[in-house]
Structure 1
Amino acid sequence: MADENGAKTGAIWALGMMSGTSLDGVDAALVQTDGTRIHAFGESAYTDYTDAQRADLRAALGKWPDGPDVAPAAHVSEAAHIALARTLLAENSADLLGYHGQTLAHDPEGERTHQAGDGQVLADVLRVPVVWDFRSKDVAEGGEGAPLAPFFHHACARFIGADAPIAFLNLGGVGNVTWVDPRIDAPEAPNACLAFDTGPANAPINDLMLARRGVDLDQGGALALSGRTDEAIVQAFLDHPYFTRQPPKSLDRDQFPDLLPAVAKLSDADAARTLAACAAEAVAQGMTHCPSAPTRLLVTGGGRKNAAIMQELFARLSVPVQDIDDTGLDGDMLEAQAFAYLAVRVARGLPTSGPSTTGVAAPVGGGKLSNPKNS
């Protein structure tokens, strides 16, 4: 069915695309949704950035739209997303595309956030309407602009049949947690969701590995597993004022610049293990902000594949910790799926964030919708 403007109503297929602060690559996933309920999950795909692409992105980190090195980074983001979208759209159809872009800088206190990449470019090349620039409106209206996946997490909790509060922990470059009560119908309703960034997650470990060993990550946490935690460094890390702030709250990737210098005198293994412990302890501190203890914590993102981080979570948290894959959801694709879901919400005028997820004064629907220009 279609509305008076010819747009489809009911559930549609949307393709969501996400590249996180870990700078590993691009995820893309299809979701069938009406913007409220998840009807089905479709195919997904991933592509690594090349070393050259990753170098261009790293060169632009921390920079704003008019800064040096930003144009090459934007081109990398656009080209990589277009190539991956073409792969999926060759055998699947999508009515809408959600494009997050590459976060280079995030400063909600200054009411600005920067995701490199122009959604209009994708719309024109792929001939599909694109929703993009998801964060700017929230930040402009006083919100943190992050995290943005919570309303999707609420839908996921209902999709898997949860009947009591649960929490979703995403461990990307930065960690973020969403506490949801699936018994409440609308995610923007009071007491339905609480979300915030917990602290650094994979980013410091990745930066450590690049600086000391010339590789992008500690694969599987193997190096960290062989090391020992320096608890004095972990406790000093917890003195950062971020941990006493009340949520909602969000972080830039590099907001803990003292963390790597703190482990500088440790061996590679001990440094990696200590950084893993910091990521887990940040989550433990964050859980104290939840309205009630969740019945379980579902871990998603690349950090769940780091066995050292998972060991530290099991040891430091008092709630059951579970790999989200065990629920039938896809922990590798959850954020890409989130931006497919959010794209449909934007297109249909539904809110994508609210006071308890980003701290914005009232529920807001962020994002720009770009339709393909005539050839």
Structure 2
Amino acid sequence: MLTTIGLMSGTSLDGVDIALIETDGHRVGAFGPSGYRAYSDAERAVLRQALAEAVQLSDRHARPGILAEAEQVVTAAHAEAMAGFLADNGIARENVDIVGFHGQTVLHRPAERLTVQIGDGAALARAIHIPVMHDFRAADVAAGGQGAPFVPVYHRALAQALGREGPIVVVNIGGVSNITYIDGDDLLIACDTGPGNALIDDFMLRTSGQPFDGEGKLAAQGQVDDAWVARGLQLPFFSAPPPKSLDRNDFAALPLSNMIPADGAATLTAFTAAAIASIVPLLPRPPASWIVTGGGARNLTMLRMLREKLAPATVEAAGALGWSADAMEAQAFGFLAARGLKGLPLSYPATTGVPIPMRGGVLVSAA
């Protein structure tokens, strides 16, 4: 077993998740501690500007303008998160075999074979004095894959340990929502399903100055515009079969007219839930159970809407199974780092659309 630490900064731009696991790249031997380092308002502002400017990129290695500053911000925040995590948990650097560093996605256009995650893996390795594996998505996208979602192999390891009848779907609701469909040992399908928290978070910031709708409380007070949701679901993405992926901002242009904040939050939450449910007819068999992870697992209104849309299947938050909704993706990139070290595939034809099972990740030493 390897001792790995995974680092994840998602499209919600909230901060850095960090988690330790012991794994051989096939199964999880033990869960270790997890932690979180929030981005400051100033850091988040730089990242939002970088997202806006990244739309002009055609070279995944270029860092013009604010992107160079944003990359330094991301790298420094992850180094600080690592230092605090090791100190808080009494972990010696020499006892960590590998760190999986996802970086911050600022552009994802797989149709153009282009995906950009900022964050300097070599600089991070020098700062923390531990080997780092980074740039996980590039090989998949370069080979014609969607480059996302990348957590299915970890979801499979967790789901198989439950010993329950399938099919099981793990749905991660971050900035974008994605699913992993698991049926037995061999059938693994994954794709993005549409918006996650990004539309809600952006709407909350515009209308109330708040970064998100805590527990879905505002959405619970509003009325859903069902016609608006139905129109949104007519977009071609939702009828396309998996694998498929999208960028955080792909639905940002959908207008909400003049809805009051509560109705807007309710409608966008319903849109996310309906988008997730829209994948069911495209799967081989209707899932028997759904396990919700990511930030959406804390949104009680989202969970209620999902139960309504997905009945008679069960819908439960990952925490009810002893899984960490907050640390899931960070754990996954620790798991992927172990697989990368061992030369095992990170993605498959039915998860990202890549032609063959693909290895990935770039290893940099601590020297």
TM over 0.5: yes
| Cross-structure match for 2:77 | 80
- State the distance in 1 between where 2:114 and 2:41 align: 29
Deviates more, 1:159-168 or 1:208-217: 159-168
- State the distance in 1 between where 2:195 and 2:67 align: 24
Q: Tell whether the 8 Å contact from 2:140 to 2:358 is kept in structure 1 after alignment.
A: yes
Aligned with 2:249: secondary structure? coil
| Cross-structure match for 2:214 | 219
| Cross-structure match for 1:355 | 349
| Cross-structure match for 1:321 | 315
| Cross-structure match for 1:118 | 120
Shift, 1:290, TM fit: 1.8
- 2:336 is the alignment partner of 1:342: yes
| Cross-structure match for 1:255 | 250
- State the distance in 2 between where 1:194 and 1:101 align: 24
Which digits, 9 at most, give the CA deviation of each residue in 1:213-261, with x for residues without a partner? 11101111111100010000000001111011111000100001332x2
Q: Tell whether the 8 Å contact from 2:19 to 2:35 is kept in structure 1 after alignment.
A: yes
Shift, 1:287, TM fit: 2.0
Which digits, 9 at most, give the CA deviation of each residue in 1:322-374, with x for residues without a partner? 1111111111110000000000000110000010000000000111000122x
- 2:361 is the alignment partner of 1:371: no
* Mapping 1:27-176, distance limit 5 Å: 27-62=17-52, 63=54, 64=57, 65-90=62-87, 91-92=90-91, 93-176=95-178
Which digits, 9 at most, give the CA deviation of each residue in 1:61-110, with x for residues without a partner? 05133332101111111111111111222312311000000000000000
| RMSD, matched Cα | 1.1
| Cross-structure match for 1:204 | 199
Q: Tell whether the 8 Å contact from 1:98 to 1:343 is kept in structure 2 after alignment.
A: yes
| Cross-structure match for 1:239 | 234
Q: Structure 1 length normalisation: TM-score?
A: 0.92
Aligned with 1:321: secondary structure? strand
- State the distance in 2 between where 1:68 and 1:113 align: 18
Q: Tell whether the 8 Å contact from 2:166 to 2:289 is kept in structure 1 after alignment.
A: no
What letter corresponds to residue 246 of structure 1 in structure 2? P
- State the distance in 2 between where 1:297 and 1:117 align: 33
Ranges in structure 1 where 5+ consecutive residues have no aligned partner: 1-10, 185-190
Which digits, 9 at most, give the CA deviation of each residue in 1:85-141, with x for residues without a partner? 112223123110000000000000000100000111111111111000000000000
Aligned with 1:356: secondary structure? helix
- State the distance in 1 between where 2:109 and 2:98 align: 29
2:266 to 258, 264, 273: 273
Deviates more, 1:348-357 or 1:312-321: 312-321
Aligned with 1:153: secondary structure? helix
- State the distance in 2 between where 1:292 and 1:132 align: 35
Structure 1 residues 358 and 316, CA gap change in structure 2 (3 angstroms): same
- State the distance in 2 between where 1:70 and 1:28 align: 23
- State the distance in 2 between where 1:138 and 1:173 align: 21
What letter corresponds to residue 301 of structure 2 in structure 1? A
Aligned with 1:256: secondary structure? coil
Q: Tell whether the 8 Å contact from 1:106 to 1:114 is kept in structure 2 after alignment.
A: yes
1:291 to 280, 284, 304: 284
Q: Tell whether the 8 Å contact from 2:199 to 2:252 is kept in structure 1 after alignment.
A: no
What letter corresponds to residue 80 of structure 2 in structure 1? A
What letter corresponds to residue 103 of structure 1 in structure 2? T
Aligned with 1:46: secondary structure? strand
Ranges in structure 2 where 5+ consecutive residues have no aligned partner: none
Q: Tell whether the 8 Å contact from 1:264 to 1:271 is kept in structure 2 after alignment.
A: no
Aligned with 2:279: secondary structure? helix
Q: Structure 2 length normalisation: TM-score?
A: 0.94
